[in-house]
Structure 1
Amino acid sequence: MPSSVIKAFAYDEAGQILTITFVSGRAYAYQGVPADIAQGLRLAFAKGEYFNKAIRERYVALPVSAGTDSRP
């Protein structure tokens, strides 16, 4: 199901970086996110709810500039 909050996301398993782009256009790279948490986001029916419960304010978030390769 499409999310009303999250536009897209990508996960770098080697670096444990979860990059999330929100519908607002802002993007953040969340540091130190374990693979099972990223997988949980992928599988979540309500991605915004999962994000708030399992990711938001639990991991360091660095803003990602537009036009970059999605890395901080």
Structure 2
Amino acid sequence: MCWRRASGTSSKIIECAHRRFGADRIRSGSSRGTAESLRRSCAMRACRLNSSMMTRAAYDETERSLHITFRETGRYVYYDVPIEIFEALCISPSAGTFFNDQIKGRFSCRRDPQRRRFAPAD
């Protein structure tokens, strides 16, 4: 598991990547394994959700953004979310109820621009 934050030194990021991906996945000069991508992967935390509405939640510590993958509509990014909200969502007995009560309508959001899936028209 990766515990380093994005503000760590490059050597710490490489250490983190070695633990996370193994030494053979890190190559200098390639698009995979760049310092930025390693920094981002080390700053993300994720959990699977046992919900009929959502499948996964991930939290980016450097951007304070919550990424939620919905079963029907794909992934959405919620901005300026405290980490406590993410942690509570992950342990909530009902992720859907928690989402409706604590997240929906309280944080600005948009569809994840890097995901290309079929979705309802905006």
Q: How many residues align?
A: 67
For the residue of structure 1 that corresponds to 2:68, the secondary structure is: strand
TM-score, normalised with respect to structure 1? 0.85
What is the CA distance between 1:25 and its match in structure 2?
Answer: 4.1
Unaligned runs of 5+ in 2: 1-48, 117-122
Structure with more of its chain in strand, by fraction: 1
d(CA) in 2 for partners of 1:2, 1:41 = 11
Letter in 2 for 1:37: I
Report runs of 4+ in structure 1 exceeding 2 Å deviation: none
Structure with the higher helix share, 1 or 2: 2
Bigger radius of gyration, 1 or 2? Answer: 2
List gaps (5 residues or longer) in structure 1: 68-72
Equivalence for 1:49: 97
Which residue of structure 2 lines up, in the alignment, with residue 16 of structure 1? 64
- RMSD between superposed Cα atoms in Å: 1.4
Q: Distance in 1 between matches of 2:106 and 2:82?
A: 12
Higher RCO (C-alpha 8 Å, min separation 6): 1
- Give the C-alpha shift of residue 26 in structure 1: 1.6
| Percentage of matched positions with identical amino acids | 31
TM-score of the aligned structures, taking structure 2 as reference length: 0.52
